[in-house]
Amino acid sequence: MDPPQVETMDISGKSYPPIEDEQDKTADQCFAEDTNFDSSRRCSLHAEVNRGGTNYEQSPDPEVVAELAAEFRSVEAMFTLSAIMNMESHMFLTYPLICFLFLSSFVYGQLDYKYYDTTCPSLIKIVRNGVWSAISNDTRMPASLLRLHFHDCFVNGCDGSILLDDTSTFTGEKNAFPNRNSARGYEVIDAIKANVEKACPSTVSCTDILTLAAREAIYLTRGPFWSVCLGRRDSLTASQNAANDQLPSPFEPLVNITAKFVSKGLDVKDVVVLSGAHTLGFAQCSTFKRRLFDFDGSGNPEPTLDSSLLGSLRSVCPNQKDSDSNLAPLDAVTINRFDNVYFKNLMNNSGLLESDQALMNDNTTAALVSNFSKYPYLFSKEFAASMVKLINIGVLTGQNGEIRKNCRVVN
């Protein structure tokens, strides 16, 4: 049975109008309303309000453009402010612009916001309803889908390789140490892919479906919205060794994690921003238990860990082997809501993972944490920007890769 139409789109207790209600808004109306977190969600944190691009009815306010231009990362290298202000009315003004800042001209020429508009016009609706159905049954699913997407993109690019089962010719990523018994959401992508195949056979890649599903999952938890250039193709192989080598680990020092981000074309700001995804989801006790009982081999808990958090975590994760797979929320304050409380927790020495709390031990990252803890709107905007960078890492286009019919196996 097809998934139900989405009537409301928030799992934290408050209802919001469906996305379609925003389609008639102009960019200027969105900017005018975009004064707090709730309205920023409704306006998708930028002017791209109708999921297919906003056609501006009039020139944008120069002050708005100036503010946005100041937020772009490396935009100055490609565009002057006057060029931005003189763009044709059909151009995107905010984070959608970044889509082609981080792609080569060759790749950008084969990725497009409207790539499936004629070949699979129902794609967004199918993905949205599939994600909504999944998170209605499992409130952990938004974090799981985002993590699945992140782990895909971080290993040789966003190519759907994490979705492949092992074969006789390669050992894939599913059983790599960072994914084994922890990566979730495969069945959700399978279900969405099956519905997409019914509507548009052999047309939409598994990679694009995963990319869109992660975006929808975050938006449905009151998180930001970001535009997605489409047209990615699926990889023909996967590598467990690459996943073990390239994925950041919660046990690694911050300098190592940052180096891995830099190797993907990201930066230290992206480290902090994307760590903010830990506002959602759970972690297994095995990933943080040493902080509770034997930090650095001392036989004692980590001295800076908040004492009340220590007590609650010890009750969930007793010092015995059979508790390793027990789960604790990464943000125990607002478990199922995308917000900036994760950063507030870090300010109070209440980060769950050692790698999270380590963000407070470096002046640069600590300053970013402080800002995001104070300004939720800033965090949401930066998260959208970092996600646009992430989703365009190492994409396959043109004749590279394939369009899988089944996300688990190559054709």
Are 164 and 172 in contact by the 8 Å Cβ rule? The answer is yes
Binding residues for Ca(2+): 152, 155, 157, 159, 161, 173, 279, 331, 334, 339
The catalytic residue positions are 151
What pLDDT is recorded for position 110?
79
* Degrees, nearest 5: CA angle 302-349-305: 20
Binding residues for heme b: 278
CA dihedral 238, 239, 245, 249 (to 10 degrees): 60
Question: Within 13 Å and on the Cβ side, how many CA atoms surround 406?
Answer: 6
pLDDT tens for 108-127 read 457 898 999 999 999 999 99
Q: For residue 79, what are the contacts with CB-CB under 8 A and spacing of at least 6?
A: none
CATH of 123-245, one of 3.30.450.40, 1.10.520.10, 3.40.50.1370, 1.10.580.10: 1.10.520.10
Look at the alpha carbons of 394, 270, 408, 100 in this order and tell me if their dihedral is positive or negative.
negative
Full-model pTM: 0.77
Binding residues for substrate: 248
Q: What tokens does 153 get? A: 């993109």
Rounded Cα distance between 303 and 299, Å, is 11
What is the architecture of the domain spanning 253-390? Orthogonal Bundle (1.10)
Domains in the chain: boundaries: 19-104, 123-245, 253-390
Of 71-85, 183-197, 253-267, where does mean pLDDT reach its minimum? 71-85
Q: What tokens does 271 get? A: 């480290």
pLDDT tens for 369-385 read 999 999 999 999 999 99
Tracing tokens 């990615």 back to the chain, one arrives at: 232
